[in-house]
Amino acid sequence: MNYYSLSLQELISLAYNNDPEAQFWLGNIYYEGYGVDRDHREAHNWYLLAAEQGHSDAQYQLGNLYLYGHGVAQDFKEAHKWWLLAAKQGNAGAQSNLGYMYVKGDGVAQDYQKAFKWLILSAEQGYAGAQYNLGRMYLQDNGVKQDYQEAYKWFFLAAEQEHVQAQYNLGKMRLLGHGVEQNYLEARKWWLLAAEQGYADAQVVLGLMYASGDFITQDYHEAYKWWSLAAKQRHPEAQSGMGNLYYNGHGVEQDFKEAYKWYYLAAKQGHTYAQFSLGNLYFHGDGVKQDYQEAHKWYLLAAEQGHTEAQFNLGVLYEKGYGVKQDYQEARKWYLLAAEQGYEKAQYGLGNIYSLGNSVEQDFKEARKWYLLAAEQGFSSAHHNLGVLYYYGYGVKKDNEKAYFWILLAIANTSHNRYQDFVKLHDDVAAELNSKQREKIKKQAREWMRDKGFE
């Protein structure tokens, strides 16, 4: 019998005569609201009648109602009960949902072996959701030995059925060369397929590719297109990206107020970079009235999530007393957090605190330690200060050759605003060296820059 062609009254008549297929179809009609008012409770009643007669699709749908709390109180254990009955009859959707339930440990004890058992049964029937979750198990080393080739295989099968998350993961595997030859164009292909289906994560990564020009021709208009689509779905990474476009005038007219709007939307969702960027807008007064207290508020939120530049900027606020009471100890705290993550400006700032003895006992050896770390990253002011330490013998034995070495590096890497300061020290040190010494040290400085990749 073709139940699809039956009228509502005919289905009701069959359902009242205990026809499980008719009861199942009535459940679908009330669940979706086809020709009737949508009524999840009524859908539950008809699914239950069919399920109690062993109708596997009705059992599967009952499980879904309990999972989402549609027409009934949410109950993972009840969902498990009905899915298990359907799964034992070979229902692929129920097998897939059972498998995922064991992966997550929702309503049952987490059990990767049981998860694999049910997922493989479903996946071998061609069920895309199970194929995707099997791929994740192999990718993430969950209950099975990590195997990128197996992960790729299952993602591919699901992706061919237009499973967006599988397509997205295939793109990542193609980008990284995990289990398959690295191929940026293939990565973009899979991300594009997912993005065109509205998958926000894929839209975000496409926007990032176009904005950065990594692997494809840089195109800010394309970046705008994909980020705007994801931003409409409230994706914080896309909202932050939109803020960047407006802040820098990339692909759009520069507009700090519009940048503020997008950064704010992302920052309210806890996006670290957007919080940091809002802090910058308030610090500089771009698109908003300059407000150091507001800058502090947003920097603090980002800094507490480990953002190094926000930590450094908080240090600056406390060192200078901008928007907060001047507090060298608090400045040192934030500089230290950023410096320990390798941020050269913070390492330099810490060096200054120890060199000047602000909130700590003056300690030129500790200052030298932090200046050296910043100097290794090519920070010219740190080069200069190392030159000062060696020239005057602060915390180290006076050494004009080392002083000259560091001041040469400072001049080579400096911006114009500090050039004259560096040249004065250079001339003072150079006067105490002969030409042979100077030429030797110049050669050493060139070799250092070449080895560090600063030439």
Q: Which of 111, 115, 107, 106 lies closest to 135 in space, CA to CA?
A: 115
Say how many C-beta atoms besides its own lie within 10 A of residue 303's C-beta.
Answer: 25
Continuous segment of H or E residues that includes residue 131: helix 128-140
| Cβ atoms 270, 306 nearer than 8 A | no
Task: pLDDT band for 3, please (50, 70, 90 cuts).
Answer: confident
pLDDT, position 415: 67
Distance from C-alpha of 53 to C-alpha of 125, rounded to nearest angstrom: 24
Residue 446 host element (H or E): helix 435-452
d(CA 273, CA 412): 32
Compute the average pLDDT of residues 5-32. Answer: 92
Cα separation, 257 vs 103, in Å, equals 45
Q: Above 70 in pLDDT, residue 199? A: yes
The alpha carbon dihedral of 339, 340, 341, 342 has a sign of positive
- pLDDT number for residue 214: 86
Query: Residue 273, Cα to own-chain centre: how many angstroms?
Result: 10
Q: Which residue has the higher pLDDT, 412 or 77?
A: 77
**Mean pLDDT within 418-433:** 84
In this predicted structure, which of 5-19, 198-212, 336-350, 359-373 has the lowest mean pLDDT? 5-19
The pLDDT tens digits for 50-97 are: 999 999 999 999 999 999 999 999 999 999 999 999 999 999 999 999
Above 70 in pLDDT, residue 269? yes
Residue 32: which pLDDT band, with cuts at 50, 70 and 90? Answer: very high
In angstroms, the CA 391 to CA 19 distance is: 97
Q: What are the tens digits of pLDDT across the range 152-171?
A: 999 999 999 999 999 999 99
Cβ 409 vs Cβ 449: under 8 Å:
yes
Q: Which residue has the tokens 């399920």?
A: 51
Handedness of CA 185, 190, 193, 196 (dihedral sign): negative
For residue 354, what are its two tokens? 């120890």
Other Cβ atoms closer than 10 A to 252: 16
Dist CA 96 CA 118 (whole Å)? 6
Query: How confident is the model at residue 422, as a pLDDT?
Result: 83
Q: How confident is the model at residue 412, as a pLDDT?
A: 87
As a whole number, mean pLDDT of residues 381-394 equals: 94
**CB atoms inside a 10 Å sphere around CB 158:** 26
Contact of 38 with 30, CB cutoff 8 Å: yes
What pLDDT score does 454 carry? 81
Of the candidate ranges 331-335, 349-353, 423-427, the one whose mean pLDDT is the lowest: 423-427
Residue 313 has pLDDT above 70, yes or no: yes
Q: What DSSP state is assigned to residue 5?
A: G
Q: What domains lie within the chain, and their CATH numbers? A: 1-89 (1.25.40.10), 379-455 (no CATH)
**pLDDT interval class at 421 (50, 70, 90):** confident
- Judge residue 396's burial from the number of C-beta atoms within 10 Å of its C-beta, 0-12 exposed, 13-18 middle, 19 or more buried: middle
Q: What is the mean pLDDT of the chain?
A: 95
pLDDT at 7: 86
Which residue from 240, 177, 171, 224 is spatially nearest to 199, judged by alpha carbons?
Answer: 171
What is the model's pLDDT at position 5?
81
Largest CA distance in the chain: 110
- Above 80 in pLDDT, residue 417? no
pTM above 0.85, yes or no: yes
Percent of the chain exceeding pLDDT 90 equals: 90
Q: DSSP letters along 344-403, please?
A: HHHHHHHHHHHHHTSSS---HHHHHHHHHHHHTTT-HHHHHHHHHHHHHTSSS---HHHH
Q: Is the pLDDT assigned to residue 413 strictly greater than 90?
A: no
CA-CA distances (angstroms) from residue 148 to 100, 185, 282?
20, 19, 46
